């Protein structure tokens, strides 16, 4: 059996923010390959470049150097319009702060990406309902965001990300604004989606959340410092902790 074509192929990615005279090297040569149906957690301290990487992977931002192939297609030289098309069809992005439109009902919020894929309105409704059913919010379609709890809002956002059946679901600290009980619900949802075959990359700095993924990528100062399966990562972390504790003892 030959190896399938990777979904994501990132090579020597660099991204530098320039604020006045100051330069912040948020990504300093990141290499990453992700295959379809993987469930990856990206961990790292605040400021280690996780969001920057996710934005580039989500085609929301461009790298300064390096290449990013999605489904074998190089995105580095794409026009704004082509990137928009990829964001629309191939990528679902879930933000920490939900980013729902307050004036629109849950259903209308989920329909939003479909507007830009030229789906006629009678099909939009149906597709949005199905997506809301998938995240377990089939009963709340008419509610506005301010009538929903945090967890429900994030489910609407996940439904919106899924509505166009993207090949890649990206979530940047999706539970960052939620309490642990609600977070648990969202993580169960991600597990269910992964079981259904969805490729997922999630950013988190909570170990127990990352532990639910199959693969854990750790970042520090704009570089990937470890990339292991969840089990390997756990033992290694335990080893670290034991080592530290041993040293302390």
Partner 1 sequence: MKDFLLFPLYLARLILQSALLAVGQIWVNKTRSLLTTLGIIIGVASVAAVIAALEGMNRRILENFESFGTRKIFIWPERPQTGRQKNIAYEQIRFEPEQFDGLLEHCPSVEYLSLMTSLGRLPGRFMEHTVDAVSVTGVDASWFKIENRPIVVGRPFSLLDETQGRYVCIITTQLRDKLRMDRDCAGQIIQLGSNSYVVAGMVDDKPNNAMLFGQAGEQLDAYIPYTTAAKLLYRPWIRVMASCRDSTRAEEARAEIRFFLRQTRGLKPGDPDNFGVFLMESEVRRFKQVMEMITLVAAGIVSISLLVGGVGIMNIMLVSVSERTREIGLRKAVGARPGAILTQFLVEAVVLCMIGGFFGVGLGQLLARTIANSAPLMEQAQIPGWAIAVAFGFSGGVGIVFGMFPAMKAARLNPIEALRHE
Name the residues that contact Mg ion, by CB under 5 A: 51
- DSSP labels for 14-38? EEEEEETTEEEEEEEEEEEEE-TT-
Q: How far is the CB of 54 from Mg ion (least distance, A)?
A: 8
Alpha-carbon Rg of the chain, whole angstroms?
19
- DSSP labels for 168-202? EEEEESTTTTS-HHHHHHHHHHHHHHHHTT--EEE
Comparison of 28 and 89: residue with beta carbon closer to ligand ADP: 28
SS3 217: strand
Q: How do the residues of the chain divide into helix, strand and coil, expressed in percent and rounded to 5?
A: 40, 25, 35
- Binding partner of residue 49 among Mg ion, partner 1, ligand ADP, none, CB cut-off 5 to 8 Å per kind: ligand ADP
Q: Please, which of residues 5-24 interact with ligand ADP by CB under 6 A?
A: 17, 19, 24
190 binds partner 1 (CB under 8 A): no
- Number of Cβ within 10 Å of residue 197's Cβ equals 8
- Binding partner of residue 61 among partner 1, Mg ion, ligand ADP, none, CB cut-off 5 to 8 Å per kind: partner 1
SS3 155: helix
47 binds ligand ADP (CB under 6 A): yes
Q: How far is the CB of 142 from ligand ADP (least distance, A)?
A: 35
134 binds partner 1 (CB under 8 A): no
How far CA 6 is from CA of 38, 69, 71, 189, 226, in Å, comes to: 10, 9, 7, 24, 19
99 binds partner 1 (CB under 8 A): yes
- Number of Cβ within 10 Å of residue 83's Cβ equals 17
Q: How far is the CB of 49 from Mg ion (least distance, A)?
A: 9
- Binding partner of residue 88 among partner 1, ligand ADP, Mg ion, none, CB cut-off 5 to 8 Å per kind: partner 1
Q: Under the rule (CB under 8 A), what is the footprint of partner 1?
A: 55, 58, 60-61, 80-81, 84-85, 87-89, 93, 95, 99, 101, 103, 112-113, 115-118, 160, 164
């Amino acid at each position: 059996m030959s190896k399938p074509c990777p979904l994501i192929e990132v090579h020597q990615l660099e991204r530098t923010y320039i604020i006045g005279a100051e330069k912040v090297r948020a990504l300093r040569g990141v290499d990453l390959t992700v295959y379809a149906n993987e469930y990856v957690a990206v961990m790292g301290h605040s400021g280690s470049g996780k969001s920057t990487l996710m934005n580039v992977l989500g085609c929301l931002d461009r790298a300064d150097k390096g290449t990013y192939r999605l489904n074998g297609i190089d995105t580095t030289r794409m026009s704004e319009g082509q990137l928009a098309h990829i964001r629309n069809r191939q990528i679902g992005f879930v933000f920490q702060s939900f980013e729902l439109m307050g004036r629109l009902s849950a259903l209308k919020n989920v329909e939003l990406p479909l507007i830009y894929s030229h789906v006629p309105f009678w099909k939009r409704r149906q597709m949005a309902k199905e997506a809301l059913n998938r995240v377990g919010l089939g009963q709340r379609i008419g509610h506005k965001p301010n009538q929903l709890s945090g967890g429900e809002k994030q489910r609407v956002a996940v439904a919106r990300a899924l509505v166009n059946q993207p090949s890649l679901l990206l979530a940047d600290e999706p539970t960052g604004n939620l309490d642990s009980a609600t977070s648990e619900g969202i993580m169960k949802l991600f597990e269910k989606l992964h079981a259904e075959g969805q490729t997922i990359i999630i950013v988190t700095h909570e170990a127990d959340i990352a532990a639910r993924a199959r693969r854990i990528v750790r970042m520090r100062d704009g570089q990937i410092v470890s990339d292991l399966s969840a089990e390997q990562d756990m033992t290694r972390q335990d080893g670290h902790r034991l080592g530290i504790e041993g040293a302390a003892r």
